Amino acid sequence: MKYIIIILLFFTLNISAQNWKIPVLYGSSIILNGIGDGLNDNGQKGWGHFSNAVSISLLVVSPFIAEYNKDKWWAYPISYGFLRVGLFDWTYNITRGLPVTYIGNSSLWDKGMRKLNPPDGFAVGRAVFFTVGFSIPFNI
């Protein structure tokens, strides 16, 4: 499975692109948000709130770190959304000590995923979403 992701990522990237900062910033923000939510739900509110604050801060400072193409502004929220589908739930589940493919039953997202009833927790789909979300900034 991991080799498929690496191959997909390799073929979708434009190696000469300099936009690597955007998926790294977005991915870091999403991972920190997943950790923060997981810590909050485990009762570790201090570290959870800190992690969520750093997550938001990364998004706020991203225009000062990365160069955005203003003509293709629409690609950035799409990239963020795809990366979020690919990273957030796995990060949250790991932080909570749940199985990686666990699907909860409280949020609207989880309820929708339960209706799809994916046997593997949508693992392949998340990997594809991550790959697409990571590659979009490279192809702008």
Banded pLDDT at 122 (limits 50, 70, 90): confident
Question: What's the half-sphere exposure (Cβ side, CA atoms, 13 Å) at 50?
Answer: 5
* % pLDDT > 70, the chain: 86
State the Cα–Cα distance between residues 51 and 37, nearest whole angstrom.
8
Which pLDDT does position 61 carry in this prediction?
Answer: 93
Give the tens place of pLDDT for each residue, 42-86.
Answer: 999 999 999 999 999 999 999 988 888 899 999 999 999 999 999
State the Cα–Cα distance between residues 118 and 104, nearest whole angstrom.
13
Query: In the numeric block, which tokens belong to residue 6?
Result: 């690496």
The residue whose two tokens read 């932080």 is 95
Which pLDDT does position 8 carry in this prediction?
Answer: 57
Give the tens place of pLDDT for each residue, 17-47.
Answer: 457 889 999 999 999 999 999 999 999 999 9
Between 140 and 7, whose confidence is greater?
140
Mean pLDDT of 76-105: 91
The residue whose two tokens read 């979708």 is 12
How would you classify residue 44: left for phi > 0, otherwise alpha for psi between -120 and 50, otherwise beta?
beta
State the Cα–Cα distance between residues 25 and 31, nearest whole angstrom.
10
* % pLDDT > 90, the chain: 52
Say whether pLDDT at 87 is over 80. yes
